[in-house]
């Protein structure tokens, strides 16, 4: 959280109002608030407020805890246009640019796609149809099915809720619908806790349930980072590498069909990197791994885009899951297709194979500001032996 505030105020020099929403004093205490404010110079602080949800809601009745507090936070803040961010979001560009998305301007609600993961153990499409019986088969297929009519499978995760954009003046009923669904014991206890990953699917499903307009971002997620792999050999670009070394490494990786590992990346309407989720380390902080490599920093210099949801086809996501059964031959045949995420236990993460555009360089101004955020996190927040 301290790094995110630093990124907004210092790196991007944005004076956008910041509202830190928390459950109660056990969730965010006074010393932590003081630490966040104290990390800024007086002229950098600007309009920052801390909002205690226990002063607005009965926490037990509303079941406000964990991920669910985000939706109630939208209700609690006074502002009408809200970008709800997880604390581990890395903003690659100034936050005001989020609101420039055409989908947000058209509908007042913009959601971001999640990476495609084959559905193993529950039918999210059944829940969506239960909440909205009028939801057509075509709409369900568009949201859930990938890889073609006969070979495609349903994905278990549709929405990535690291950032949710809402205009409450236009979409207040949608926000209330999300909160009401979170309050249902059958959904909260038997579906969200056991089958869903956090709050992500509840936003678009709630909007569908009451036929509230919304849009998904145009581009599917990609990956941001500096670690290349063929799942046998890893090549990690050091923070101190010069441009010539980086160009050679990227050229070799493209010609050898290496995948890229790092953080989940999202784009603006033009396909330019906009924000990433999951923090500043190579792996999700709460994932296990079998090698120290995962404890290093993300080097945000390269990316693989996730593909245009409006114009491009997507591979059957099962292929990545069975890659290891058939060796590198199958992995190499996937080049040129989008959303082929391959699990990599050594990193406790997933890596994205290249599409037709290969591994691309993050624009220099974006990569430099992002590197500043990573360096701030490691230099001023972490107290472990992790290093760049």
pTM of the model: 0.92
Higher pLDDT, 382 or 23: 23
With a cut of 90, say whether residue 189 has pLDDT above it. no
Res. 388 pLDDT band, cuts 50 70 90: low
Strand partners, 343: 350
Identify the pLDDT of residue 366. Answer: 97
Distance set, CA 76 to CA 55, 98, 206 (Å): 10, 21, 19
Higher pLDDT, 188 or 172: 172
C-alpha closest to that of 354 among 372, 336, 370: 336
Identify the pLDDT of residue 65. Answer: 81
Higher pLDDT, 88 or 127: 88
C-alpha closest to that of 224 among 260, 272, 267, 181: 260
Identify the pLDDT of residue 142. Answer: 82
Q: How many Å apart are CA 181 and CA 327, to the nearest integer?
A: 44
Higher pLDDT, 381 or 230: 230
For residues 276 and 266, the answer to whether their CB atoms sit within 8 Å is yes
For residues 165 and 74, the answer to whether their CB atoms sit within 8 Å is no
Res. 311 pLDDT band, cuts 50 70 90: confident
Work out the average pLDDT over 316-323: 59
With a cut of 90, say whether residue 356 has pLDDT above it. no
The 8-class DSSP code of residue 170 comes to H
For residues 159 and 203, the answer to whether their CB atoms sit within 8 Å is yes
With a cut of 50, say whether residue 250 has pLDDT above it. yes
Burial category of 50 from C-beta neighbours within 10 Å (exposed 0-12, middle 13-18, buried 19 and up) = middle
Quote the tokens at residue 212.
């509230």
With a cut of 60, say whether residue 312 has pLDDT above it. yes
For 105-155, the pLDDT digits (tens) are 999 999 999 988 777 667 788 888 888 999 888 888 888 877 665 556 678
Identify the pLDDT of residue 383. Answer: 45
What does pLDDT average to over the chain?
A: 87
Quote the tokens at residue 103.
């989908």
For 32-64, the pLDDT digits (tens) are 999 999 999 999 999 999 999 999 999 888 878
CA dihedral over 374, 308, 152, 140, signed as positive or negative? positive
Strand partners, 297: 281
* Pair type for strands 90-91 and 81-85: unpaired
With a cut of 50, say whether residue 386 has pLDDT above it. no
Query: Hey, how many other C-beta atoms are within 10 angstroms of the C-beta on 244?
Result: 8
Q: How many Å apart are CA 183 and CA 60, to the nearest integer?
A: 10
% of residues, the chain, pLDDT over 90: 57
For 261-301, the pLDDT digits (tens) are 999 999 999 999 999 999 999 887 666 677 777 878 999 99
With a cut of 70, say whether residue 364 has pLDDT above it. yes
Higher pLDDT, 349 or 37: 37
Distance set, CA 266 to CA 72, 92, 145 (Å): 24, 10, 20
Q: Give the neighbor-by-neighbor strand order of the sheet with 109-113.
A: 81-85, 159-167, 109-113, 215-216
With a cut of 90, say whether residue 87 has pLDDT above it. yes
Res. 385 pLDDT band, cuts 50 70 90: very low
For residues 305 and 219, the answer to whether their CB atoms sit within 8 Å is yes
With a cut of 70, say whether residue 323 has pLDDT above it. no
Work out the average pLDDT over 242-253: 93
Name, in order, each residue with C-beta under 8 angstroms of 146's C-beta and a sequence gap of 6 or more.
116, 152, 153, 155, 314, 315, 316, 317, 339
- The length of the chain, given as a count of residues: 388
Burial 158-192 (b: 16+ CB within 10 A, else e): bbbbbbbbbbbeebbebbbbbbebbeeeebbeebb
């Amino acid at each position: 959280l301290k790094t995110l505030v630093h990124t907004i105020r210092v790196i991007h020099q944005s004076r956008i109002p910041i509202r830190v929403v928390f459950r109660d004093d056990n969730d965010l205490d006074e010393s932590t608030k003081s630490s966040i404010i104290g990390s800024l110079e007086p002229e950098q602080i600007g309009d920052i407020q801390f909002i205690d949800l226990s002063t607005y809601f009965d926490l037990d009745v509303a079941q406000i805890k964990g991920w669910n507090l985000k939706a109630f936070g939208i209700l609690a803040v006074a502002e009408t246009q809200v970008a709800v961010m997880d604390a581990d979001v890395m903003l690659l560009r100034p936050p005001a640019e989020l609101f420039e998305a055409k989908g947000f301007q058209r509908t007042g609600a913009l959601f971001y796609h999640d990476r495609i993961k084959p559905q193993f153990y529950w039918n999210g499409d059944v829940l969506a149809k239960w909440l909205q019986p009028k939801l057509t088969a075509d709409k369900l297929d568009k949201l859930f099915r990938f890889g073609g009519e006969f070979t495609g499978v349903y994905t278990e995760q549709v929405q990535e809720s690291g950032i949710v954009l809402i205009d409450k003046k236009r979409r207040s009923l949608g926000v209330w619908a999300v909160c009401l669904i979170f309050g249902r014991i059958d959904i909260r206890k038997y579906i969200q806790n056991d089958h869903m990953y956090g709050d992500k699917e509840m936003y678009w499903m709630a909007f569908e349930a009451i036929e509230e307009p919304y849009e998904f971002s145009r581009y599917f997620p990609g990956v941001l980072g500096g670690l290349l792999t063929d799942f046998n050999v890893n090549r990690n670009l050091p923070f101190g590498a010069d441009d010539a070394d980086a160009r050679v490494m990227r050229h070799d990786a493209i010609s050898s069909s290496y995948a890229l590992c790092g953080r989940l990346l999202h784009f603006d309407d033009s396909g330019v990197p906009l924000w990433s989720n999951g923090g500043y380390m190579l792996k999700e902080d709460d994932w296990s791994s079998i090698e120290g490599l995962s404890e290093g920093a993300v080097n945000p210099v390269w990316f693989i885009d996730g593909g245009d949801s409006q114009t491009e086809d997507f591979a059957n996501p099962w292929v990545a899951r069975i890659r290891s059964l058939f060796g590198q031959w199958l992995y190499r045949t996937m080049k040129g297709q989008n959303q082929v995420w391959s699990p990599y236990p050594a990193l406790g993460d997933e890596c994205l194979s290249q599409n037709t555009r290969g591994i691309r360089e993050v624009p220099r101004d974006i990569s430099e500001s992002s590197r500043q955020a990573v360096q701030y996190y490691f230099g001023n927040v972490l107290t472990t032996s992790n290093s760049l």
